[in-house]
Chains A and B, each alone.
Chain A
Amino acid sequence: MRKTAELIEENNEKRGLLNHDNEKVYEDILLYLRTDLRIDEHAGEEILMDLLDHLVEAQEDGKSAKELFGESPQKYADELIENLPSENRRNVLWFSASQVIGLTGWFAATFGVISLVVSFFRPVDNGIALGNLLLMLLSVILVAVIGVTVIFKIVRSSVFQKDKKKWQAYVKAGLYGAGAFACVALIAWLFEDFGPVIKLEWWIFLLIGLVFLAVNKLMDKRGA
């Protein structure tokens, strides 16, 4: 069985074979399916590959995407989604855990590098309050989860709309993302340090970060 990542990569390459009009319709369907978090990702990518293969062959026979997907691509995509298996909980949990670990890794590694750079200019206080750290992590995770859900929803609602409407949706999604990060910054600013303070050198943060990122990569590769 082909891995999901391989399917995605093959899909990226094969889409280049489509002509402009067919590619547009196909990419709408692709975006609509991929942003539906309820469906089994592997099964979704498999049907996307089937459709792409079909469209490429149909194109060679002089047929258009309209003949394949009908007058309403959205209705067609909904029909596909209705018949696709749903993502199992284990996968969702595994994926979420992997994302949290990855996010924490970036967080720690970036912090380490910044401390190093800053230490060239002035002495840095490497003490970090554990209470704050936890609060920050939790709020980042929460904002990320809500953010992804809302942004996907906005994008999904505009997939099959005209380009102007799409644009509006992307601006809206972008603003939402910016607002979400402002919330995290606000939380960080509002709360005084609390909890036990630990003092770690910059390279320890970097090391922890890199280890977390490696674990994240391994988890993504292995899959649940």
Chain B
Amino acid sequence: MALRSQLLKGVLDACVMAVVEEQPVYGYELSQKLQGIGLPDISDGTIYPVLLRLQKNGFIRGEMRPSASGPNRKYYFLTDEGKAELDQISAEWLEIAKPVSQLLKRGGENEENS
């Protein structure tokens, strides 16, 4: 999936940071978790450009650790800057999420109102 839109980029950044905040993960784990949450399209490969971007901005950092299955993996951790960024994005997102989804649902209210 091409992530051309800035909006999607920002949202995806936040999702990745939120997963990493909960628990340090390595690439494959991260994609599994995102799929588990129900975001099938932004699953596998898409996370790597995001991870690189977040590292470049200093929001996450990678560290080699032995994984549960044995071999060493690069685990990603949220930095203090990342935490601040995540808090900010979350606050902004929560403010607009409800009204925007209401607006964009357009006629689909009947199924969703329950």
Q: CB within 8 Å of B: which residues of A?
A: 1-2, 43, 46-47, 49-51, 53-54, 57-58, 63, 67-70, 75-76, 79-80, 82-85
Q: Give the distance to chain B from A189, nearest Cβ to Cβ, in Å.
A: 49
Q: Supply 15 A–B pairs (Cβ within 8 Å), ascending by A.
A: A43-B52, A46-B74, A50-B48, A50-B74, A51-B27, A51-B48, A53-B26, A53-B73, A54-B44, A57-B28, A67-B45, A76-B45, A80-B49, A80-B52, A82-B49
B2 at the interface (CB under 8 A from A): yes
- B residues 1-31 touching A (CB-CB < 8 Å): 1-2, 26-28, 31
Q: Give the distance to chain B from A108, nearest Cβ to Cβ, in Å.
A: 41
What would 14 more interface pairs be, CB under 8 Å, given A63-B44, A68-B45? A2-B64, A50-B26, A53-B26, A53-B71, A58-B44, A67-B45, A68-B44, A70-B1, A70-B45, A76-B45, A80-B52, A83-B49, A83-B52, A85-B56
Counting chain B residues whose Cβ lies within 8 A of the other chain, the interface size class is 10 to 19
Q: Give the distance to chain A from B58, nearest Cβ to Cβ, in Å.
A: 11
Q: CB within 8 Å of A: which residues of B?
A: 1-2, 26-28, 31, 44-45, 48-49, 51-53, 56, 62, 64, 71, 73-74
Query: Which of A47, A49, A75, A84 is within 8 Å of B2, CB to CB?
Result: A75
Q: Give the distance to chain B from A133, nearest Cβ to Cβ, in Å.
A: 45
| A54 and B28 contact, CB distance less than 8 A | yes
| B26 and A46 contact, CB distance less than 8 A | no
Query: Which of A54, A80, A83, A84 is within 8 Å of B27, CB to CB?
Result: A54
| A84 and B52 contact, CB distance less than 8 A | yes
Could you say which residues of chain B place their CB within 8 Å of the CB of A76?
Answer: 45
Considering the complex, give the chain A residue whose CB is closest to the CB of B72.
A2
Q: Give the distance to chain B from A49, nearest Cβ to Cβ, in Å.
A: 7
